[in-house]
Amino acid sequence: MNFTPSQVFIIILLAGYIFTLFILESWIWRFQQKRYIQIWMSFADSIKLQFSPGSFVPRSTVKPLITGRYRNRQISVTAETRRRYGFQDAIFRVSVSIKNPKTNDLPKGAFFVIGDPRKKGILSRISGQTGNLIALRPEEVQKFSWKAVPENLGNHLLTAKSAQKILGAAVINDILIDQGLLRYRQIGFIADPAEMRKLINNLVELAESFERFSKNWIVS
């Protein structure tokens, strides 16, 4: 195929434009990453947790990690970036330890998961009783679906103030309570220490709500 001089010029111009955007995005992200790591390090120190440095860049084998005991339970906070359709976004994760106060364990088969039904997350891979919920956020109405065993566990947790605060404030992908952990995942990075602390406190309170519900269960 033969190109005219004007076509060659346009191709070179487009290639240069795409390359410049790629370099600019990489430079901006490197600058942001240094800032985020400083914020995370300072935040971990402020609530007496450990910070392990790493990289937020896609496919990094070592990711920044905040771990330790907070409000008498083990927590971890991490994040990573990924490339989708040529763009870069972030996934923010928090896990909080959870247990049955009487048995120090969860009842067999008990779980709770809530998420956006439009996204392919944990929700689509777990079977169980299903319910629907609409959360009113400042910018929009976000629809969620949830599954729980036993079903009244879901009703109990969704009436908790902590759950309402979480669903009303964050762009969550899913929350899963299973195998001794409450696992939270959202699309989008959190770099504001006050916002991060508020979210972690709400997740801890949701874990406490689960424990209040489960304290009379008997593990078979």
**3-class DSSP state for residue 103?**
coil
**3-class DSSP state for residue 134?**
strand
Give the lowest-confidence range in 11-15, 95-99, 187-191: 11-15
Is residue 121 over pLDDT 70? Answer: no
Length of the chain: 220
Q: Which of 29-43, 48-62, 84-98, 194-208 has the highest mean pLDDT?
A: 194-208
What contacts 138, CB < 8 A, 6 or more positions away? none
Q: Which of 20-24, 30-34, 62-66 has the highest mean pLDDT?
A: 62-66
Question: CA 140 to CA 168: how far, in whole Å?
Answer: 10
Structure confidence by residue, pLDDT tens digits, 196-218: 999 999 999 999 888 887 766 54
Structure tokens at 104: 């120090």
Question: CA 169 to CA 98: how far, in whole Å?
Answer: 23
Instruction: Please measure the distance between the N-terminal and C-terminal CA atoms of the chain and give it in whole angstroms.
Output: 72
pTM attached to this predicted model? 0.75
User: Order of strands, edge to edge, in the sheet holding 141-149?
Assistant: 50-52, 65-70, 73-84, 87-97, 181-187, 172-178, 111-115, 141-149, 129-136
DSSP designation for 124:
G
| In the block, residue with structure tokens 């390359």 | 19
**3-class DSSP state for residue 100?**
coil
Structure tokens at 206: 């949701």
